[in-house]
Structure 1
Amino acid sequence: MVRVAVVGCAHGLLDDIYATINFVNEMDPAHPVELLLCCGDFECMRNMRDLETLACPPKYRALHAFHRYYKQEKIAPVLTIFVGGNHEASGYLQELLYGGWVAPNIFYLGASGVINVAGLRIAGLSGIYKQQHYTAGRFEAPPYDNTTMRSVYHVRELEVFQLSHLQQVDKTPLNVFLSHDWPRGIEQHGNLSQLLRRKPFFKQEIMTNTLGSPAGEYLMYQLRPQHWFAAHLHVKFAAVVVHPHQSRGENKPNNAEASETHKTEQDAAPVLPPCEPVTTKFLALDKCLPRREFMQILDLAPSAGRPARPQQTTKDIETVDMKQDATVADEGTGTSHRTVARSSRPRIMFDLEWLAVLRATHHLASVSKFAPRVPQEEMKIEDKDLAWVKQRLEEFVAEKKLDKAPGEWITDFVKTAPGHGEEQDGSVVVTGNPQTDLLLELLQLPHVITSPFSGDGAASRAVEDPNEIDLDDDEDASDLDSKPVDVEDRTSRHGLALANETVVTNIEIAAPADLCEIDLDGE
């Protein structure tokens, strides 16, 4: 089992989140948290320039603590994985479109992505759904205006199309899916009356079936992950979705004609014995504030056949020899903890099928606001595609002499911009990121949406026409958390939805945040 901490909206309060995990570990030191999953609004601002790209009223912007982790003044005490939300340092995250390290031990899943960690297959989709930009290309680039500052974090059809083609060859189920948005309709699978008592202004959207993301709803039924974690609506809510009987990993048809053919094939197929229903356990969490239910601790079982720990590398052996008994002072909490040998910590591993999907769909990427639609027919991913990726990865690691275990994520954190206090005056440019360069070189793909890294800031990419008129009616300026929540109105319903998991705590753990902090998320 892998002990995982799941957090809703982080809003940059990393010190408070890590202090909370440290508190949990002190209660049960024999079973420390190995992995932190964050469901968006991470706010990884490196400097004041990044802060200017945060989509919220300027008077509410705050730099918070991430820049200290970026500058390595502090190191994240637990491997942290996150997806983007609708309050992010979008310029930085655009550099890492396909995922990568934003700081040591802090990993961004990308606009969409799939990785393997400690035997868990984890997928994610960043951003929120807005219909007016769903079929657009990735046309945004710094410097952002008031429109592109928001459209940059809107989910795109291509990312959903890519995720929908998982589990064609690799039938391993997804253990975890991370999103910021809720999947549309998920409220019908949990305690709806309690949700409406806590968030009565959801009623109209629930009645019109517009609460949540249609793209998320499609992916939930297409991929059927074991767990789906989300945030955004600032309320804890649990649900269980029971999926129709279907062979695990079998892809559903994505149009009516294919559905009819699929039904005919099913009628002709031999009758199989009944099996256990496939379920998705959904959990949404609140934002990181005092007396809010923002964190859940779970023990998740790795997938069968997935190695929980990769084999050691040269760097691992050195770590075991030199740092086995070292202790490190934690500046954020004033405590000390044992340094865990690198070989015993979970590491980011590639998902070969996801790399094959990226290669097969790269030609669909576009920087045009009016991008071509994705194909309606299903795209086939075959064994030969995974074999090519596996062979290429082995050759690439040997060619570059990378000290990585077989299948391990090949990039390391690279500082591409000055941290807070290190800034110099200059214009906003797209600098790219060497991590993205290395990933595209691995897959033998050109830059389309991203830009090659240039240390002198000379990199460039296609940007939208400044004379183009934007008639989009963006509604992001009004958040959904503008009314007070009765935090005392709680029942055991939330715990029952995850009754099959070993749960260390089923209630919110209040972060040691400033009690005078105002809830300013209603931008």
Structure 2
Amino acid sequence: MGGTEGGWYFAAVGDVHGQMHAMVRLVEGWSARTGKPLAFVVQVGDFEPHRDEADLATMAAPAKYKHLGDFPAYHRRQTGFPWPVYFIGGNHEPYGFLDAQAPQGLEVTPGCHYLGRVGQVEPRGLRVAGLSGIHREDVFRTARPSLLDPRSVSHKAFAYFNEEDVDRAMGLRNIDVLLLHDWPSGLIAASDAAAFEHQRRSVSHDTVGNDYARMLVEALRPRLVLCGHMHRAYRATIRHPSGQVSDVACLASVRQGLESLAVFHVSSDRLTEVTRTR
């Protein structure tokens, strides 16, 4: 995993929802305040890289949430990201673009990479893997429909990961950082349970997350797990029978400001968060 003497930094960002300019300002603001350059940025889904209205039409979301966002300026190269960006898909993506072009992943604009339904990259020697989408049990064992005519199927059909995706992800090895959109189940400490009761995104603390994400974390034992989706910041750890520990950083949405950002220092065999939110 290496690095130069003294180490280096990378950032993780929560749900962007098309607000790439705000994401850049947030991340560059951290670098300006600290004087620390960033090697790259990872993002945990609901990035929403809509190139045009046709892409936007393939996103699963109520009409009031469908906004073209900032990505056209990046796609047309009127502006660019200051660092490489690696993102997974969430449940609100233009899958008519992403899955039709390259479900195995692609560079959507210079320096900005979609990891695919399941993918792995190794920037600066750090092994980063991701699983796109969220869980829905009644479609988990069903293949996603063809995108030859995206108008003939529900856009929601593309928002979920399935058994094939999880099986592929289970075959990954030696992962340092795992990107998930939804949280693994069983994260919420008893002392925090009340904060997750009767919320819009959590009926109760024990319904937060899904068991397949948890199973993947337990199988791969990454040093770090990064999640979004819930639009709230939370930190937890998952302890494995081997004695290894996976730190978990759940991130809010970019609209919520600094709670959507986590920065990590990489040095020798250590990976340490230098921004901390409970």
Same fold (TM over 0.5): yes
Q: Tell me how far apart the structure 1 counterparts of residues 225 and 147 of structure 2 sit (CA, whole Å).
A: 30
User: In structure 2, which of residues 136, 145, 149 is the aligned counterpart of residue 130 of structure 1?
Assistant: 136
Q: Tell me how far apart the structure 2 counterparts of residues 195 and 2 of structure 1 sit (CA, whole Å).
A: 35
Deviations 1:135-157 (A, max 9, x none): 11232415435963011121011
Structure (1 or 2) with the larger CA radius of gyration: 1
Residue 163 of structure 2 corresponds to residue 157 of structure 1:
yes
Match of 1:55 in 2: 60
After TM superposition, list the pairs within 5 Å mapping 1:496-507 onto structure 2.
501-503=272-274, 505-507=275-277
Deviations 1:428-458 (A, max 9, x none): xxxxxxxxxxxxxxxxxxxxxxxxxxxxxxx
- Asked if structure 1 preserves the Cα contact closer than 8 Å seen for 2:196 and 2:204, the reply is no
The letter of the residue matching 1:179 is L
Residue 25 of structure 2 corresponds to residue 19 of structure 1:
yes
Q: Tell me how far apart the structure 1 counterparts of residues 237 and 257 of structure 2 sit (CA, whole Å).
A: 25
Unaligned runs of 5+ in 1: 168-172, 246-276, 305-499, 509-523
Q: What's the offset of the Cα at 1:213?
A: 1.9
Sort the Cα spacing of 1:109 and 1:4 in 2 relative to 1 into closer, same or farther, 3 A: same
Q: Tell me how far apart the structure 2 counterparts of residues 119 and 302 of structure 1 sit (CA, whole Å).
A: 11
User: In structure 1, which of residues 77, 83, 87 is the aligned counterpart of residue 82 of structure 2?
Assistant: 77
Match of 2:213 in 1: 216
Q: What's the offset of the Cα at 1:92?
A: 1.3
Match of 1:177 in 2: 178
Task: Specify the SS of the correspondent of 1:184.
Answer: coil
Sort the Cα spacing of 1:140 and 1:219 in 2 relative to 1 into closer, same or farther, 3 A: same
Q: Tell me how far apart the structure 2 counterparts of residues 97 and 178 of structure 1 sit (CA, whole Å).
A: 16
Sort the Cα spacing of 1:142 and 1:288 in 2 relative to 1 into closer, same or farther, 3 A: farther
- Asked if structure 1 preserves the Cα contact closer than 8 Å seen for 2:60 and 2:159, the reply is no
Task: Specify the SS of the correspondent of 2:230.
Answer: coil
Task: Specify the SS of the correspondent of 1:114.
Answer: strand
Q: What's the offset of the Cα at 1:60?
A: 2.7
Sort the Cα spacing of 1:146 and 1:226 in 2 relative to 1 into closer, same or farther, 3 A: farther
Sort the Cα spacing of 1:114 and 1:158 in 2 relative to 1 into closer, same or farther, 3 A: same
Sort the Cα spacing of 1:8 and 1:290 in 2 relative to 1 into closer, same or farther, 3 A: closer
Deviations 1:324-379 (A, max 9, x none): xxxxxxxxxxxxxxxxxxxxxxxxxxxxxxxxxxxxxxxxxxxxxxxxxxxxxxxx
Sort the Cα spacing of 1:243 and 1:84 in 2 relative to 1 into closer, same or farther, 3 A: same
Q: Tell me how far apart the structure 2 counterparts of residues 502 and 185 of structure 1 sit (CA, whole Å).
A: 22
Task: Specify the SS of the correspondent of 1:501.
Answer: strand
Q: Tell me how far apart the structure 2 counterparts of residues 203 and 92 of structure 1 sit (CA, whole Å).
A: 30
Q: How many residues align?
A: 270
Q: What is the TM-score normalised by the length of structure 1?
A: 0.49
Match of 1:229 in 2: 226
Q: What's the offset of the Cα at 1:52?
A: 0.8
Q: What's the offset of the Cα at 1:24?
A: 1.4
User: In structure 1, which of residues 196, 209, 221 is the aligned counterpart of residue 194 of structure 2?
Assistant: 196
User: In structure 2, which of residues 145, 148, 151 is the aligned counterpart of residue 139 of structure 1?
Assistant: 145
Q: Tell me how far apart the structure 2 counterparts of residues 206 and 55 of structure 1 sit (CA, whole Å).
A: 26
Q: Tell me how far apart the structure 1 counterparts of residues 184 and 70 of structure 2 sit (CA, whole Å).
A: 30
Q: Tell me how far apart the structure 2 counterparts of residues 192 and 140 of structure 1 sit (CA, whole Å).
A: 43
Bigger drift between 74-83 and 211-220 goes to 211-220
Deviations 1:251-283 (A, max 9, x none): xxxxxxxxxxxxxxxxxxxxxxxxxx2000011
- Asked if structure 2 preserves the Cα contact closer than 8 Å seen for 1:84 and 1:111, the reply is yes
Residue 246 of structure 2 corresponds to residue 244 of structure 1:
no
Deviations 1:436-490 (A, max 9, x none): xxxxxxxxxxxxxxxxxxxxxxxxxxxxxxxxxxxxxxxxxxxxxxxxxxxxxxx
Q: Tell me how far apart the structure 2 counterparts of residues 70 and 280 of structure 1 sit (CA, whole Å).
A: 35
User: In structure 2, which of residues 239, 263, 272 is the aligned counterpart of residue 297 of structure 1?
Assistant: 263
Sort the Cα spacing of 1:285 and 1:48 in 2 relative to 1 into closer, same or farther, 3 A: same
Q: What's the offset of the Cα at 1:198?
A: 5.4
Q: Which has the larger share of strand?
A: 2
- Asked if structure 1 preserves the Cα contact closer than 8 Å seen for 2:235 and 2:277, the reply is no
Q: Tell me how far apart the structure 1 counterparts of residues 123 and 194 of structure 2 sit (CA, whole Å).
A: 36
Q: Tell me how far apart the structure 2 counterparts of residues 58 and 146 of structure 1 sit (CA, whole Å).
A: 18
- Asked if structure 2 preserves the Cα contact closer than 8 Å seen for 1:2 and 1:302, the reply is no
Q: Tell me how far apart the structure 1 counterparts of residues 167 and 190 of structure 2 sit (CA, whole Å).
A: 30
User: In structure 2, which of residues 249, 267, 275 is the aligned counterpart of residue 283 of structure 1?
Assistant: 249
After TM superposition, list the pairs within 5 Å mapping 1:419-498 onto structure 2.
none
- Asked if structure 1 preserves the Cα contact closer than 8 Å seen for 2:237 and 2:245, the reply is yes
- Asked if structure 2 preserves the Cα contact closer than 8 Å seen for 1:196 and 1:203, the reply is no
The letter of the residue matching 1:125 is L
Q: CA RMSD in A?
A: 2.2
Q: What's the offset of the Cα at 1:231?
A: 0.6
Q: What's the offset of the Cα at 1:47?
A: 0.4
The letter of the residue matching 1:183 is P
Sort the Cα spacing of 1:4 and 1:192 in 2 relative to 1 into closer, same or farther, 3 A: farther
- Asked if structure 2 preserves the Cα contact closer than 8 Å seen for 1:230 and 1:283, the reply is yes
Deviations 1:112-157 (A, max 9, x none): 0112110100110000011122111232415435963011121011
Match of 2:10 in 1: 4
- Asked if structure 2 preserves the Cα contact closer than 8 Å seen for 1:8 and 1:286, the reply is yes
Q: What is the TM-score normalised by the length of structure 2?
A: 0.89
Q: Tell me how far apart the structure 2 counterparts of residues 507 and 164 of structure 1 sit (CA, whole Å).
A: 29
Q: Tell me how far apart the structure 1 counterparts of residues 177 and 79 of structure 2 sit (CA, whole Å).
A: 28
User: In structure 2, which of residues 84, 88, 91 is the aligned counterpart of residue 86 of structure 1?
Assistant: 91
Q: What's the offset of the Cα at 1:200?
A: 3.8
Q: Tell me how far apart the structure 2 counterparts of residues 199 and 84 of structure 1 sit (CA, whole Å).
A: 27
Task: Specify the SS of the correspondent of 2:127.
Answer: strand
Sort the Cα spacing of 1:3 and 1:291 in 2 relative to 1 into closer, same or farther, 3 A: closer
Q: Tell me how far apart the structure 2 counterparts of residues 301 and 148 of structure 1 sit (CA, whole Å).
A: 46
